Chains A and B, each alone.
Chain A
Amino acid sequence: MLLLFLLLPSITQAATLFDPIAEVLKHPRCMNCHTVTDFPRQGDERVPHAQHVVRGENGHGAPTLHCAACHQETNIDHARVPGAPHWHLAPLSMGWEGLDNTRLCQTLIDRSRNGDRDIAALVEHMRADPLVLWGWSPGAGRTLPPLTHPQFMQAVDAWAAAGGPC
């Protein structure tokens, strides 16, 4: 009990630090491609991707229907098709659906599941990866995550500075 009492501020602080990040990660712009299913989802209603698109062997679609068949390096707004470099589904190890914030955080920093990234590499991924950045310029009237990208990076930096607590 005493231990819990002593730990409580840090637990609370950790939760506080990661919560705004979680709210972004749980937004459909991110979550639709971080699924635990064999297919991506679409839209704020998160319906299974039309055309019955499937994950395929490496997240790039079925041999007969690669993601890149439609998704180019940039958004094609007149066709409402979003696009960014290396458009594909996040691996199943990075599936976030159904996780609470703590589990989401743990999954994110687990090097066996996050592409062997340390905290610094994670921060860099979220700062500069074009597929991550797409979430803030999704085109065609799509909704945006609850924080702007600079606000998000402020939260990420603060969380990383604290050692990436969950």
Chain B
Amino acid sequence: MAASDGSGMTRRDFLRVSAMAGGGLLAACNFAPESEPVQAPPTPGPGPVGDAWQANAFVRIAPDNRITIIVGSAEIGQGTSTVVPMMVAEELDADWSQVSWEQSPTARDYANPRNFSQLTAGSATVRGVYLPQRRAGAAIREMLVKAAASLWGVSEDRLRTQASRVIDDAGGRSASYGELAGAAAQLRAPRNPVLKNPADFRIIGQSKRRLDGAQKSDGSTVFGSDLHIPGMLIALIARPAPSGRLGSGADTPESWNREAAMAVPGVEDVFVVDAGVVVVAQDFWAAKQGRDRLAVQWQRSSRPHVSSDEQRQRYTEKLDRLGAVLHRKGSGAQLQRRGNTVISADYHFPYLAHAPMEPLNVVIDYAPGRCEIWTGTQWPDGDRGVAARVLGMQAAQIRFNTLPSGGSFGRRACSAHDFVDEAAQVAKVLQKPVKVMWTREDDIRGGYYRPSASSRLSATLDSQGLPSSWAQRMVAQSLIGNAVIDELGSLAGTETNSAQGATDLPYAIPNQRVDVHSSYDPVTVLWMRSVSSSFNVYAREAFLDELAQAAGQDPLQYRRRLLQGTPRLLAVLDAAASAAGWGSAPAGHHQGIAVFQAYGSCIAQVVEASVGADRVLKIHRVTSAVDCGTAINPDLVAAQIESAAVFALSSVLFGEITLEDGEPQQGNFHDYPILRMHQTPRIDTVFVNSGGEPGGVGELGVPAVGPALANAIFGALGERIRELPMKKHLRID
């Protein structure tokens, strides 16, 4: 890992600038670790393939004063295409109306300094590039000023910049960045550009309109689903059940009806790869009809195929035994064994599918020695590495294009890179341009689920009714997919897949213990928006309300007492309660509250709901108070929180993948519903930002919505919802 100056920058030159052919300026930054070889020397113009330096521009200033910011992270709807340019444009003093964005190529220099990969995940984009991008903008601005000073023969001190111009007030003249770019490109980049005082921000902190909004509105944005390249065929794959898709232990096709599939007009070929049986056709419909006729019989591996009912029983039994202790403080366990009254509750969570609106798809054009791939992904460099391995190529030989994704929620950041892996398998056999498409059913039945989990919480209360001890025991599948590694990791205290939202308890409770059973179930699992917090925080925040009830205290005041030592959480708690009108809901409406902190940010959320005749649940309002340090673009942060509310409500109300003998029982939005417009409550978001560096917000708004709703339902019905989804207990029309 590179030595850092504390800003996430390495000691190497972080900025290289060159003149563009035909004028203008091209600047490239280095966020890559120092241990990597320095890139080839700069030459203007776009590079051919791979990691050639010139491909790695971050900023282009054209002679006509248009500024293009090349964004290294993926646009999955979260707005990275707008917030990253805003950081650069701020320090550059750019004319925002002349700023546009481009998706970067796949190359090392675009790695996020937080994860050393071009991985858009973990609410890390803004946190990772905030300072580096600002430094790049500031450095280029200084070079443009220097170029103008030299041109006019004046001191830099008397020049200022505004709206993509360098201005000499005393001399009554100005020049555009476009005019100065060529001269600036000849200068040395400053090592330590001066960053603005946040008080002087003109762009950061403003709700600028999305740079990708117009194209998405008029339909001109090209998603993977839209992409068609000349001569492209369509492939669909018949895959085994999620229980049978695990590498060496995968189920294999025993028999299939090739003739029946080939008889469908338009079907060109049927062949077998590791991923399953592939049907290649001229168009999607032919491929689908061909696949429908395959009637594949699978030879099962020795792995047991999971059934949800059996798994639930097994998990429940494990709750009675001590797992690997991840977190200990004081003597929580002893306190609960000393004859004190222990309050305890079990919570159960099903498998969930990410169910992005755009199902997975990969376009791949491969011939020996040459390969280009286009796909909506959160992890292009990782995907490219897997494709290279499958195709026996060097990663740098593959041109990998990241397209915008129609939703993702973690599915397109697959640690197995499954969708690109199998597309490469298809291309290796076919050696023609092909799009591997997933139907909605493929997507929802395709595994890589948010793990199912069971959790037991127990606590004792002191004479004030506050928790004197707190224990949480989880049973959940490891995301690593290897129980042995996971158990070892747990013992070493490093297993974090199940820990987030449990071991980082924000409440002042003197005695705590968290232990985990990492279950090994042969089902492909993966992180999903907010990872284990999506179930741990539900259990934690719902259980805290149970303690408040046992203590006869108001859930808001109870939390306030326990959060005195965490001022940021206390501030969002009070702000959410105030914005939601805590305690003064309309007649028949009930409120619940919950908090969550992660990614350098804090949130409190109040859900207002009612339960009518026939146990029909109606959610009226979700109010969120957010402290994300600095909001680069408040409207985009609010959009993230609003989308998280919809995502979370979809999950807790309806989300459930049940497995029967390994087969998912759901397959489309009729049996795996997501929240519909008429079910969507009013959503309000208020900010109580504490300043300083921006925190992550992509996942922040998910975990607390469910428990806040459960707490509101308790107010309405006097019932605790301890098993999700809620549709099992209530009607949601």
Contact = CB atoms under 8 A, between A and B. Distances in A.
Contacts of B733: 47-48
Contacts of A51: 676
A80 interface: yes
Contacts of A48: 678, 733
Contacts of B677: 52
Interface in A33-83: 42-43, 47-48, 50-52, 78, 80
16 contacts: A42-B670, A43-B670, A47-B733, A48-B678, A48-B733, A50-B669, A50-B670, A50-B673, A50-B676, A51-B676, A52-B676, A52-B677, A52-B678, A78-B292, A80-B668, A80-B670
Interface in B658-696: 668-670, 673, 676-678
Interface of A: 42-43, 47-48, 50-52, 78, 80
Contacts of B673: 50
Nearest to B677: A52
Contacts of A52: 676-678
Contacts of A80: 668, 670
B655 to A, nearest CB: 16
Given A50-B673, A52-B677, 9 more contacts: A42-B670, A47-B733, A48-B678, A48-B733, A50-B670, A50-B676, A52-B676, A52-B678, A80-B670
Interface of B: 292, 668-670, 673, 676-678, 733
Nearest to B285: A78
Nearest to A41: B733
A32 to B, nearest CB: 13
Contacts of A47: 733
A52 B733 CA distance: 10
Nearest to A51: B676
B161 to A, nearest CB: 50
A70 to B, nearest CB: 13
A148 B476 CA distance: 47
Contacts of B678: 48, 52
A117 to B, nearest CB: 32
A3 B423 CA distance: 81
A80 B440 CA distance: 13
B94 to A, nearest CB: 42
A47 B616 CA distance: 11
Contacts of A78: 292
A94 B678 CA distance: 26
A80 B671 CA distance: 12
A80 B673 CA distance: 15
A51 to B, nearest CB: 8
Contacts of B669: 50
B235 to A, nearest CB: 19
A115 to B, nearest CB: 29
A50 B292 CA distance: 26
A15 B670 CA distance: 38
Q: Which 8 A-B pairs have the closest CB atoms?
A: A52-B678, A48-B733, A52-B677, A52-B676, A47-B733, A80-B670, A50-B676, A50-B670
A150 B336 CA distance: 67
A27 to B, nearest CB: 19
A153 B45 CA distance: 79
A78 B439 CA distance: 12
Contacts of B670: 42-43, 50, 80
A47 B670 CA distance: 11
Contacts of B292: 78
Contacts of A43: 670
A42 B673 CA distance: 13
B437 to A, nearest CB: 15
A80 B677 CA distance: 22
A80 B670 CA distance: 9
